[in-house]
Amino acid sequence: MAKYSISPSGEKFPLPTKEDYRKEFEKLKEAAKRQRAKGREIVVVMGLGFVGAVMAAVVADAADKKGNPTKFVIGMQRPSTRSYWKTPLLNRGIPPVSSEDPEVVPIIKRCVLEKKTLMATYTYDALKLADVVVVDVQCDYQKESIGNVRTGQADMEALEESLEIIAGNINPEALVLIETTVAPGTTEQIAYPIIKKMFRKRGIQSDPLLAHSYERVMPGRNYVASIRDFWRVCSGVNEEATRRVVKFLKEILNTEKFPLTVLDRPIESETAKIVENSFRATTLAFLDEWSLFAERNGVDIIKVIQAIKVRPTHSNMIFPGPGIGGYCLPKDGGLGLWAYRHIHGWEDDIFKITPLAIDINDTRSLHVAQLVRDALRNMGRAMASAEILVLGASYREDVGDTRYSGSELIVRRLTEMGAELRVHDPYVLHWWEFEKQDEYPASSQGMKRFFRGQEKLKDLRVEQNLKKALAGIDALIFAVRHRHYLNLEPDEVVKMAGNPIAVIDCFGILNDDQIRRYFELGCEVKGLGRGHVKRIKDQVRGNKRAEA
């Protein structure tokens, strides 16, 4: 029976057959031959996810001083039912990821359809044609509980499998550049031996040309620029690998304006990535206790942060919202802890701040459920069977990436407490963490297993029509700072809801006028770190009493 892969918009793509593979490789060989004749290097980008899809386009768009393309890129995506659709879609010039960055659509269209320097494939045979292989597959960190990252472990399966496949197929002269965020030590102590062993099996004596350079991509409004026009750190396992990775990155990135940092060994580049993200996770976690302090003592943490940020040394302080999601910050510190013990063999426990920060960030969103409970109680309504709408499923504003979003835990906790959930997000068509909650992410990694009564959430659908989503609700949670939510007028919202509601602001979205208006309309308002709402409420209630 034919198997299908279904794209987010619902288009069905049959998975390739045995015969397709043979024809596909012939097609790739022909294309590579034509491109080589034009003096272009062949680059295979393995893994067309959030990083690989746009990285592939940036490489394919690279040109020499005269504007002639210097690379031909083959994006390689394994043909799983979950991901195969990305390949045919990209070959039509359509990005497999959605984003607010206006550059994403044209760069992919340009490279695929006009310059013809980018194509996608499902066959590992593409690796045989590569001068450079860029590895952009995932390396997960599997948690065993919420709020205790120490009990988790690195999941290297996809990466190790990819490295074996690469080693079994590449020309030994090809540069293998690992961009995946890995446990420090992976390039030299895991990847190098895997490739070396496979080379030996193939009768190849030479040393693998292996390097690491981590991605700092931010899939938001500056998605493309965050790859191309941004600083990079890199390192190779030997002199030749270092020379090759520096040359490659200089040819594809804007290194004149954003110079490269070359470190002595890959473990230093790998450590830089983990420390960089752990630093960010820590500064965000730090604000959790001050957010609670503010909430309980009449302080608006949003105004406090704005006041502090005026000082240039503190300008990068950011409010953590309902938890820290995304693929990177919740896991990267865990990869560091795991490496210390399992790659480098240390027995003692030197880490205090890094795991604590992740644990705080991972549990922060659960507090939102308490605010909803209290707001509903103040209105004389029960949580059980209350209709609650969450605005925003993504982990950050103006992107369609739901991985480990605070919103997911909000939905799960409130469901556990008996509420009926709805969700609206203009960037997310399918919230796979619910729709396919038994298999996505892999069943052993999903958040479902940490909550009870979650079965019905597989029927949760993301509503695109705000009016419909709001009709008849009891509570509204502003969970993500999508631009669509920043100027919603209280009068409109309450009119669409059909009655006064509980409003929970998780991200400093409401200004004081809007908060006041919600109270005037008979609503209840609460917010993470927004202790001053009580003052506004007292003013409004006081005014009402005076009027009466």
Residues that bind ligand NAD (CB under 6 A): 46-52, 76-78, 83, 136-139, 158, 161-162, 165, 180-181, 215, 217, 219, 327-328
Comparing CB distances to ligand NAD, the nearer of 124 and 199 is 124
Instruction: Give residues with Cβ within 8 angstroms of 1, minimum separation 6.
Output: none
| In the complex, minimum distance from the CB of residue 76 to ligand NAD, in angstroms, rounded to a whole number | 5
Q: Token pair for residue 28? A: 């790739």
| 3-state secondary structure at position 251 | helix
Comparing CB distances to ligand NAD, the nearer of 164 and 463 is 164
Q: Give the separation between CA 216 and CA 23, rounded to whole angstroms.
A: 36
- Residue 155's beta-bridge partner residues? 140
CA angle at residue 277 from 359 to 231, to 5 degrees?
170
Q: Give the separation between CA 393 and CA 464, rounded to whole angstroms.
A: 12
Comparing CB distances to ligand NAD, the nearer of 156 and 501 is 156
Closest CA to 469 of 498, 497, 508, 448: 497
Q: Which residue is nearest to ligand NAD (CB)?
A: 49
Comparing CB distances to ligand NAD, the nearer of 137 and 149 is 137
| In the complex, minimum distance from the CB of residue 402 to ligand NAD, in angstroms, rounded to a whole number | 12
| In the complex, minimum distance from the CB of residue 497 to ligand NAD, in angstroms, rounded to a whole number | 34
DSSP calls for 275-325:
HHHHHHHHHHHHHHHHHHHHHHTT-BHHHHHHHHHTSGGGTT-----S---
Comparing CB distances to ligand NAD, the nearer of 68 and 444 is 444
Comparing CB distances to ligand NAD, the nearer of 117 and 180 is 180
| In the complex, minimum distance from the CB of residue 436 to ligand NAD, in angstroms, rounded to a whole number | 14
| In the complex, minimum distance from the CB of residue 509 to ligand NAD, in angstroms, rounded to a whole number | 23
Verify cis geometry, omega within 30 degrees of 0, for the bond prior to 95: no
| In the complex, minimum distance from the CB of residue 62 to ligand NAD, in angstroms, rounded to a whole number | 20
Cα distances from 248 to residues 134, 245, 251, 260, 511, in angstroms, run 11, 5, 5, 11, 48
| In the complex, minimum distance from the CB of residue 127 to ligand NAD, in angstroms, rounded to a whole number | 10
Is residue 58 within 8 A of residue 216, CB to CB? The reply is no
Indicate the length of the chain as a whole number.
548
Is residue 322 within 8 A of residue 365, CB to CB? The reply is yes
| In the complex, minimum distance from the CB of residue 387 to ligand NAD, in angstroms, rounded to a whole number | 33
Comparing CB distances to ligand NAD, the nearer of 161 and 289 is 161
16-26 exposure pattern, b = at least 16 Cβ within 10 A, e = fewer: beeeebeebbe
| In the complex, minimum distance from the CB of residue 56 to ligand NAD, in angstroms, rounded to a whole number | 11
Comparing CB distances to ligand NAD, the nearer of 54 and 246 is 54
Comparing CB distances to ligand NAD, the nearer of 144 and 161 is 161
343: Cα separation from own chain's centroid: 26
